[in-house]
Chains A and B, each alone.
Chain A
């Protein structure tokens, strides 16, 4: 079945299955004032989800529960609360193996508990979408925003995108399925945002019409067989490779791992089309650039405004996708910069490390400012970091004596 064959027909809620290009780019938008959690619900209402599996963990609990309401209203095929994030991610895998479009959400320690599942999802080529509302994972217990978990997700083989705003979130949830379900991609997507900052604040978001929804997932476009006994079950191999310690066995595993990462690379062209590029730039001719992702970008914008008032010109690179990593785009955007400032909401500075490993003359990268454990990032500390880098005297910030 071609996915386009259902375009124009209605689902049981009366929504019209719509060509995603028309739905996302041409259909009228209605500005709505919603929290990030409500925005997730509204995106999922239009995403033709077969199965959603939920588990409570702050700060994603509200979104996960709101999607339960969608199930009660009849917008989702099935919905239930699993027993832990590890179980939930396996339940999601089971549903995706069975040919369903699957959605789930998690955060912080939940991401870590579920972690064994993520490389399995990628290796099994399951195009599950998991919203990650990032929060601290350390002990002592913290529920506050912190993006450290993204650094683990980046090594799993999943696509990893980092939304800055609720609008990003709304659009990317919907187009995320279009990218990850491409036969040549067919990978899970971790769609990350900074917990609380995005989930619990209200923002104006332009929504697509309620009576339009994505075309349903077609599991028979998958590059691996759907486990529903609707296609011939063939013996996969005479001896499982796990039993073998020989070159063919190693080469098989190696080539499959390479294929998973190659599939992520192949997502580039689709992602560029849907997200209008893997990065977004402003004034990259400036000597000083702020390069980062998530809400650190928003704080960077404020810092740029403050510095402009003082006559200091600073440009911006917003990184939208972390996997695939926009290597060429970042190289190009930063080629004129003498100072590359990387503000981050985590203690280790994974973004700065990635950028340093990408660009020539990595000493241009200033790995900070960094906040963590739930601290906010006042634009003033970014301003101060930039001034220090430029050798400009600035007043001492309170508490940073």
Chain B
């Protein structure tokens, strides 16, 4: 879809919602170097959200939407949970259907878009919580990776079922006392990033969303590699401040504390050999372009 497609007829301009007018006049669809720095200066692809005040997931959502390399041709797939409260306010097509089936939906969607638009880029990005990704939907998460489906899976890992009120999840830390884990969780946090690598993902990152520039980088890498090579996986810590007993202002610090080198969200990145080559080619091209631009200026 080009930006032309969303232009408003002058006859109808005044009756369109102001959100939509803003979207047409100042959203970053089609801007090649769009990124987190556009936040606050351009119309964002996310409106208000109904998440809790200070929720790190809301920050993550904004960074991701600002970083999608091709939002005008990106369809997102969500699942039930806190993310499903935000998606209705996102200005890219997105699908919510059931709980846990997001990677199955994305598999069918990506294939349909490839059949219908063989000569165009249509990116598919899954964004779901850890219950959807690792517990109820694990089968479909893994099977999509085994099949080398060409889309990105992003997991908002808040280490529990937030939307239903803080129950134990597979990504919860061992020993954490929660609803449905009345004596503390009895087994380790599931090591999905490692499983993702072994399951055929070409790009896997485990990190927090404390640094927008980092989120931008890994989202762009993940979408590009998924488009050209095969499945990619991002596991992003978005703590549920409500359920771990923090205040609205403490989400950022919680993420910083959890990304220290010995902590469970220390930055980890795996890149397959073909993906490394792809990124190197992309970086070389960008360098060339920059040099050419520099030469043009001088």
Contacts and interface: CB of A to CB of B under 8 A. Distances in A.
A94 B78 CA distance: 12
A98 B109 contact: yes
Contacts of A50: 112, 115-116
A228 B114 CA distance: 11
Interface stretch (B93-101, B189-197, B213-221, B261-269): B93-101
Nearest to A121: B97
B238 interface: no
B115 A78 contact: yes
A350 interface: no
B106 interface: yes
Interface residues of B, number: 45
B109 A95 contact: yes
13 contacts: A50-B116, A82-B104, A87-B140, A87-B143, A97-B95, A97-B112, A98-B109, A231-B1, A234-B20, A235-B19, A236-B89, A238-B48, A243-B85
7 tightest Cβ-Cβ pairs between the two chains A and B: A94-B108, A98-B112, A77-B115, A90-B104, A95-B108, A100-B112, A90-B101
A347 interface: no
Contacts of A40: none
B30 to A, nearest CB: 12
Interface string A225-267: 1011111111111111011000000000000000000000000
A238 B89 contact: yes
B188 interface: no
A78 B114 contact: yes
Given A87-B143, A100-B115, A227-B75, A232 B5 contact: yes
Contacts of A189: none
Where chain B touches its partner, the secondary structure class is helix
A145 to B, nearest CB: 29
A242 B101 contact: no
B6 A232 contact: yes
A98 B116 CA distance: 9
Contacts of A332: none
B88 A93 contact: no
Given A124-B97, A235-B91, A94 B107 contact: yes
A363 interface: no
A129 interface: no
A228 B115 contact: no
Contacts of B75: 98, 227-229
A151 interface: no
Contacts of A243: 50, 85
B259 interface: no
Contacts, number: 155
Contact of B108 (A91, A236, A240): A91
Nearest to A91: B108
B108 A96 contact: yes
Given A94-B106, A235-B47, A240 B91 contact: no
Given A90-B98, A227-B94, A83 B139 contact: yes
A95 B115 CA distance: 10
B242 interface: no
A99 interface: yes
A154 interface: no
A94 B93 contact: no
A315 to B, nearest CB: 45
Contacts of A87: 101, 104, 139-140, 143
Nearest to B142: A83
B92 to A, nearest CB: 5
Nearest to A217: B116
Contacts of A94: 77, 95, 104-112
A93 B19 CA distance: 30
A92 interface: yes
Contacts of B97: 90, 93, 97, 117, 120, 124
Interface in A54-90: 77-78, 80, 82-84, 86-88, 90
Contact of B50 (A84, A93, A117, A239): A239
A148 interface: no
A116 B98 contact: yes
B123 to A, nearest CB: 9
A239 B1 CA distance: 26
A228 B113 contact: yes
Contacts of B110: 94, 98
B122 interface: yes
A355 interface: no
A90, A93, A95, A225: most-surrounded residue (chain B CB, <10 A):
A90
B147 interface: yes
A229 B68 CA distance: 14
Contact of A233 (B91, B104, B105): B91
A236 B88 contact: yes
Nearest to B146: A83
B88 to A, nearest CB: 4
Contact of B109 (A84, A97, A234): A97
Nearest to A219: B116
A53 interface: yes
B243 interface: no
Given A83-B140, A116-B98, A237-B88, A51 B108 contact: yes
A196 to B, nearest CB: 29
A100 B84 contact: no
B72 interface: yes
B74 interface: yes
B90 interface: yes
B3 to A, nearest CB: 10
Given A227-B93, A229-B72, A83 B143 contact: yes
Given A100-B116, A230-B5, A240 B84 contact: yes
